[in-house]
Chains A and B, each alone.
Chain A
Amino acid sequence: MSIKLLDVSFGYDSYTHLFYHLNLTIPMCCWVTIIGDCGSGKTTLAKLIAGILTPVSGDIIFSWGDGNSQKPEFGYLFQNPDDQFVHFNIEREVAFSLENVGIARDEMFPRVEESLKNANLWNRRNDSPNNLSGGEKQRLALAGMLITEPKVLILDEPTSFLDIIAQAELYKVTKALLDEKVSIIWITQEPNEINMSDYVVKLERGKVSHCGKSADYVRRYFPRRNSKFEK
């Protein structure tokens, strides 16, 4: 089970390439971290995988074993939660995700209620997303995404707006999703977060500079942290 990028090239204009003949295999059904400095192409890579951007040349192939190569359902959490909202009402914002995948109305409302209660936003359900604080916006965006139960989750710097309690909560939620066989692609600049993942892809200016198991990455770049992986 993996996503394969074969000879993928991409640039935002026709003069420069961010990715040039990139070949990369990303395993699925585990927690993959994409790490790199600002401008290294993390978000672009994720958008290519999710199909938000189309490569100039090359192919992106999904393989689920036993010959299944269907594109999975993606959930994408944008870096800026404002990019995610389409409604002026929090309850409808979450319900819209369900409407979009064709869920019946009777089934919709209990699910919306549960999801907003989990995100601790149920009391604010009649308010507009614009009136939420940064951290609350992030929680709403996450709730709207998780409610459709996607197979592959792409989280673009999900903890940046979250305070420390909400961060710990998100790590817990992500681990629980992993147990339900959801694949996680987690973009970050925070080396600490690698410790929780299974696999690391490190980008440097559009090139993959490291691709392998997290334990190997930590052993190589942070040798003193080794012991944490020896369970």
Chain B
Amino acid sequence: MSSKLLLSIKKIYHKYPNNEDFRLDMQEMFYTFDQSLGIYGLSGSGKSTFGKIIAGLLVPLIGEIELRCLEKENCEHKKTPDVMYSTQFPEKIFLGSKVKDTVELILSKNPNLKGMKLNLINFLSKFSVDYVNIEHKSGYELSGGELRRFALSLSMACSPDLLILDEPTIGFGGKGKQQLRNISKEFKKEHALIVVSHDFRLIENICDYLWVLDKGKIVFNGNFAELERDFYQKNSGYLSGDMMLEKEVVEKKSEIWEV
């Protein structure tokens, strides 16, 4: 990892108007990015909200989040680390009407991103998409999977210090998931990575460390070996009813589908 990052969460609390059921409520926590982090939770558990707060796109009602470099010599040139947030709706990445316009606009606004286009072509080819074939297309002409591949490649090509991927595999089949797995293995060697998803298998494959969110709270914080060990201790306090239910569903699902 080029520059080690420290994420410190200072007791954050957030809720949305018109939504009484949801609140994000977190205690003081720290995370050092020597391993990639997976944030897992069910729909509406606050994963995306939390991801947006880390990225600085959303300011929580109470508390704050700080992200800084631990090794000063590596990020002396900038005050704060660059964070990139790849949303779960890939069409939001479009700045111009066509793929090419978007790429050129980003390049013209950020002169320091010199190798970005080359990186983008490289990442796209790993996703088996040819940049030449899509550069003159608009967001509406790309298929759902191509759009997602372009959005992911673009955010990786910008080479941020921390990349947050929100539900990166929506619209991907098994092949796409495998490709993403290989690409992120390469990517996380050099960069800090957070994957936010409801797909447990995906997080298990990409990340080394896990936070489980349930109803706006972090209910698990540890690596996968610890999860395995504690998941089966039914009386461990931090698995709420829903999480247990999920375990049952997982088992049922594997009964139906596994070979």
Interfacial residues, chain A to chain B (CB-CB below 8 A): 12, 37-39, 43, 79-80, 82, 123-124, 126-128, 131, 133-136, 139, 157, 160-166, 168, 189-192, 195, 222, 224-225, 228
Please state if A131 and B19 are interface contacts (CB–CB under 8 Å): yes
* Central interface residue in A134, A166, A225, by most chain B CB within 10 Å: A134
> A135-B198, A228-B256 in contact; A12/B141 too (CB < 8 A)?
yes
Please state if A163 and B198 are interface contacts (CB–CB under 8 Å): yes
In the bound complex, what is the Cα–Cα distance between A79 and B174 (angstroms)? 17
Chain B interface size, as a band, is: 35 or more
In the bound complex, what is the Cα–Cα distance between A225 and B173 (angstroms)? 19
Please state if A126 and B173 are interface contacts (CB–CB under 8 Å): no
In the bound complex, what is the Cα–Cα distance between A135 and B199 (angstroms)? 12
Please state if A164 and B198 are interface contacts (CB–CB under 8 Å): yes
Question: B259 to chain A: closest CB distance in Å?
Answer: 5
- List, sorted by A's number, 10 A–B pairs whose CB atoms are closer than 8 Å: A39-B145, A80-B91, A126-B18, A134-B43, A139-B43, A163-B42, A163-B198, A168-B253, A189-B171, A191-B173
In the bound complex, what is the Cα–Cα distance between A37 and B253 (angstroms)? 23
Please state if B18 and A127 are interface contacts (CB–CB under 8 Å): yes
Q: A161-B167, A164-B249 are in contact. List 6 more A-B contacts (CB 8 A).
A: A126-B18, A133-B48, A135-B198, A139-B43, A161-B170, A163-B246
* Central interface residue in A38, A80, A139, A157, by most chain B CB within 10 Å: A38
Contacting residues, chain B, for A139 (C-beta < 8 A): 43
* Minimum-distance CB pairs A-B, first 7: A38-B145, A135-B43, A189-B173, A163-B198, A127-B18, A160-B170, A163-B42
Contacting residues, chain A, for B146 (C-beta < 8 A): 38-39
Within 8 A of A (CB), among B89-117: 89, 91
> A135-B44, A165-B249 in contact; A79/B19 too (CB < 8 A)?
no
Interfacial residues, chain B to chain A (CB-CB below 8 A): 16, 18-21, 42-44, 47-48, 88-89, 91, 141, 143-146, 149, 167, 170-176, 198, 200, 242, 245-246, 249-250, 252-253, 256-257, 259
Contacting residues, chain A, for B91 (C-beta < 8 A): 80
Please state if A123 and B20 are interface contacts (CB–CB under 8 Å): yes
In the bound complex, what is the Cα–Cα distance between A202 and B174 (angstroms)? 15
In the bound complex, what is the Cα–Cα distance between A228 and B253 (angstroms)? 13
Question: B150 to chain A: closest CB distance in Å?
Answer: 11
Contacting residues, chain B, for A136 (C-beta < 8 A): 43-44
Question: B52 to chain A: closest CB distance in Å?
Answer: 11
Contacting residues, chain A, for B249 (C-beta < 8 A): 164-165, 168
Please state if B145 and A195 are interface contacts (CB–CB under 8 Å): no
Question: A13 to chain B: closest CB distance in Å?
Answer: 8
Question: A103 to chain B: closest CB distance in Å?
Answer: 26
In the bound complex, what is the Cα–Cα distance between A195 and B259 (angstroms)? 12
In the bound complex, what is the Cα–Cα distance between A126 and B200 (angstroms)? 32
> A38-B145, A134-B43 in contact; A164/B171 too (CB < 8 A)?
no
Contacting residues, chain A, for B16 (C-beta < 8 A): 131
* Central interface residue in B21, B89, B144, by most chain A CB within 10 Å: B144
A80, closest chain B residue (CB) = B89
> A165-B42, A165-B246 in contact; A82/B20 too (CB < 8 A)?
no
Question: B86 to chain A: closest CB distance in Å?
Answer: 13
In the bound complex, what is the Cα–Cα distance between A97 and B107 (angstroms)? 43
Please state if A195 and B18 are interface contacts (CB–CB under 8 Å): no
Please state if B257 and A38 are interface contacts (CB–CB under 8 Å): no
Question: A65 to chain B: closest CB distance in Å?
Answer: 33
In the bound complex, what is the Cα–Cα distance between A127 and B19 (angstroms)? 7
In the bound complex, what is the Cα–Cα distance between A43 and B144 (angstroms)? 9
In the bound complex, what is the Cα–Cα distance between A136 and B172 (angstroms)? 20
Question: B157 to chain A: closest CB distance in Å?
Answer: 19
Question: A122 to chain B: closest CB distance in Å?
Answer: 11
> A38-B146, A191-B174 in contact; A134/B167 too (CB < 8 A)?
yes
Question: A56 to chain B: closest CB distance in Å?
Answer: 16
B41, closest chain A residue (CB) = A163
Question: A90 to chain B: closest CB distance in Å?
Answer: 10
Question: A196 to chain B: closest CB distance in Å?
Answer: 9
Please state if B246 and A164 are interface contacts (CB–CB under 8 Å): yes
> A164-B246, A165-B249 in contact; A157/B171 too (CB < 8 A)?
yes
